[in-house]
Amino acid sequence: MIKAILIFNNHGKPRLIRFYQYFAEDMQQQIIRETFHLVSKRDDNVCNFLEGGSLIGGSDYKLIYRHYATLYFVFCVDSSESELGILDLIQVFVETLDKCFENVCELDLIFHMDKVHYILQEVVMGGMVLETNMNEIVAQVELQNRMEKSEFVFISRM
């Protein structure tokens, strides 16, 4: 199970947070701060796994993260997930974002948090991996966006 997915930038500003277990808002912020603190002090050439986040879970949980340019993508998972599998999944997610936003950059995430969420919903659902095939994810996201557009045209005509 994935317990949380956090995306924040090099300064620890959250760009997307998705908890699959309930935490109150202030706790969520504390977790983001702690995770940022843990992840940001690590060099780029060390491994992508990190244990010891004290706020989520416990010994069964670890952080698996990737650092792309200005953004950190952090997944907090338990031992039922494969470490390399999750690393792969982060890559798939980022590539999907890249396709949907065309050369994704931090600004896309800042201004379209809702859209990033909709994409993520097609990858992970309720903490479990839903789809790992990028083409499938992109297809479903586009179909839904098209539907939204058709509705929007309808609404604006009114």
Distance from C-alpha of 1 to C-alpha of 20, rounded to nearest angstrom: 9
List of long-range contacts for 34-42, beta carbons under 8 Å, 24+ apart: 35/6, 35/8, 35/63, 35/74, 35/76, 36/8, 36/12, 36/72, 37/12, 38/63, 39/63, 39/65, 39/67, 39/72, 39/74, 40/10, 40/12, 40/72
User: Which tokens belong to 86?
Assistant: 């999750």
Cβ at position 103, least distance to other proteins in Å: 19
Which of 40, 117, 135, 142 touches other proteins by CB under 8 A? Answer: 117
The residue type found at 53 is G
Q: Which of 10, 132, 135, 142 binds other proteins (CB under 8 A)?
A: 132
Smallest distance, other proteins to C-beta of residue 121, A: 5
Question: In this complex, which beta carbon is closest to other proteins, that of residue 26 or of residue 102?
Answer: 26
Neighbours of 76 (CB within 10 A): 27
Q: Which is nearer to other proteins, 45 or 103 (CB)?
A: 45
Residues 12-71 that bind other proteins (CB under 8 A): 14, 16-18, 20, 22, 24-26, 28-29, 42-43, 45-52
What are the two backbone dihedrals, phi and then psi, of residue 137, each rounded to the nearest 5 degrees? -60, -50
For residues 90-103, one letter each, b for 16 or more C-beta atoms within 10 angstroms of the residue's C-beta and e for the rest, the string is: bebbbebbebbbee
Binding mask 66-105 for other proteins (x = CB under 8 A): --------------x-xxxx-xx-----------------
**Which residue from 69, 103, 114, 153 is in contact with other proteins, where contact means CB under 8 A?**
114
The binding site for other proteins (CB under 8 A) comprises: 1, 14, 16-18, 20, 22, 24-26, 28-29, 42-43, 45-52, 80, 82-85, 87-88, 110-111, 113-114, 117-118, 121, 125-133, 136, 140, 143-144, 147-148, 151-152, 155-156, 158
